[in-house]
Amino acid sequence: MAALIEGRALVPRHGTEEGTRVSFVQGLRCRECARPAEIGPVHVCELCFGPLEVVYDYEAMAAAVSRASIAAGPPSLWRYADLLPALPGTAAEDRVDLGAGLTPLVPAPRLGAALGLDDLWLKNDTVNPSFSFKDRVVSVALTVARRLGFDTAACASTGNLANSVAAHAAHAGMDAYVFVPADLEQGKVLASAVYGPTLIAVKGTYDDVNRLCGEIASEHRWAFVNVNLRPFYAEGSKTIGFEIAEQLDWTLPDHVVAPMASGSMLVKIDKAFDELTRLGLVEERPWRVSGAQASGCAPIATAMKDGTGFVRPVKPSTVAKSLAIGNPADGFYAIDAVRRTGGWMEDVSDAEVVEGMRLLASTEGLFAETAGGVTVASLRRLVATGRVDPTERVVAVISGIGLKTLDAVADVVGPTHTIDAGYDDFAAAISAQ
């Protein structure tokens, strides 16, 4: 299968040496009708408009990839390059790599005790270069974008994705167009603008921004990471699952709880565990995945809980803006993964989100953004309702740093005491505590 990119053919040569790397990418395929598609900047099937996904040669991959080969790789997500859509001809130096990935997986005994869990772990993705898991997907997407000949990156975002695209594009010397809602908090705007993209604030509702950016994505030959590069972009989330297994000494946990926006991260963690099992890198055993949403934008959890599996678009209204995706592209597939593995989904109020953030910070010293609060609060419900067994090994994915959403906790935390600068004032305040 050959893909025409700017008039030249990009021929997959999976299983053959390409400089220092091997690519196992065979092409793209529709997840709905299985119709194949050529490698290129496309994300939906031309026949049925279903989503495209990357197809790999797993037989060749299994023969080449081992725990040792992965351990010999760099201390970043690119240690799993053989399991990612690095296109033929992509050398290590071609990667758009700020060092994302290989983030800490830490035991969380104090939070576990508070939630009633014996063996809780946190996947701390707040420490990525732009402080969220989006660095994983953007690093992969822009690496593919450069290989496909793009010199301009783009995205539409309410924060994390904008930060990450702007940062990675700057690092790669690519032009960047970043679209944000005009009413986005100043901190989030500045955290993207500092990298020097063309940052366009769009007035209107989220629907208006979506509509405009969909039109722009179809009109300009840009690498719109979550549109025309989505099949490749989404694969970056698999590295969360790969890392969890490797950091647990190549075993799978019993249960992973992940926040859901589009639903893609949860789907890809499940896919990662399946691939590791298929490749013989972990012992075959059951695992479960469960999803977390904010009640103010819970189209996937609602469809799971009402039993229909039918994801109806909603208009988001929640403090968890990083999860405020009213029309989630992977909702159906997230429900499928959760049902297949025996997991569940929960959604929580904004008050519970903030309490979840506080609980995580006060028990484990980890300040997560609102999505982390959603995950912790949903996990609490999953335990309380018996959907998570207290003795299970559970990994909760903490996807972004709390400094991005300070406003969420501004009204509920602050100085314990405000005193005049005298020792007696201090003593009085403490004694009254």
Partner 1 sequence: MAIERWHLTFPGHLIAEPVVSRLVSDHDLVINLRRADIDLEVGWIILEVSGDDDRLAAGRAYLEEAGVTVADPGGDVLLG
Positions touching partner 1 (CB under 8 A) are 32, 43-44, 47-51, 134, 155-161, 179, 181, 206, 209-210, 213-214, 217, 224, 226-227, 230, 261-262, 308, 310, 312-313, 321-331, 371
Side-chain-side CA neighbours of residue 330 (13 Å): 25
Q: How far is the CB of 289 from partner 1 (least distance, A)?
A: 19
Closer by beta carbon to partner 1, 83 or else 323: 323
Amino acid at 287: W
Q: How far is 236 from 134, CA to CA, in rounded Å?
A: 9
Closer by beta carbon to partner 1, 164 or else 239: 164
Closer by beta carbon to partner 1, 47 or else 91: 47
Tokens standing for 307? Answer: 């039993």
Closer by beta carbon to partner 1, 215 or else 425: 215
Are residues 320 and 348 in contact, defined by beta-carbon separation less than 8 angstroms? no
Q: How far is the CB of 310 from partner 1 (least distance, A)?
A: 5
Q: How far is the CB of 341 from partner 1 (least distance, A)?
A: 22
Closer by beta carbon to partner 1, 100 or else 161: 161
Closer by beta carbon to partner 1, 113 or else 406: 406
Closer by beta carbon to partner 1, 205 or else 391: 205
Q: How far is 224 from 156, CA to CA, in rounded Å?
A: 8
- What contacts 350, CB < 8 A, 6 or more positions away? 294, 295, 296, 318, 319, 320
Could you tell me the maximum CA-CA distance found in the chain, to the nearest angstrom? Answer: 79
Q: How far is the CB of 292 from partner 1 (least distance, A)?
A: 14
Q: How far is the CB of 328 from partner 1 (least distance, A)?
A: 6
Are residues 62 and 93 in contact, defined by beta-carbon separation less than 8 angstroms? no
Q: How far is 95 from 26, CA to CA, in rounded Å?
A: 19
User: If you ran DSSP here, which 8-state letter would residue 401 be given?
Assistant: B
Backbone angles phi, psi at 16, to 5 degrees: -120, 155
Task: Specify the 3-state DSSP secondary structure of 340.
Answer: helix
- What contacts 282, CB < 8 A, 6 or more positions away? 245, 250, 251, 252, 273, 276
Q: How far is the CB of 45 from partner 1 (least distance, A)?
A: 9
- What contacts 129, CB < 8 A, 6 or more positions away? 98, 99, 100, 135, 164, 167
Q: How far is the CB of 80 from partner 1 (least distance, A)?
A: 23
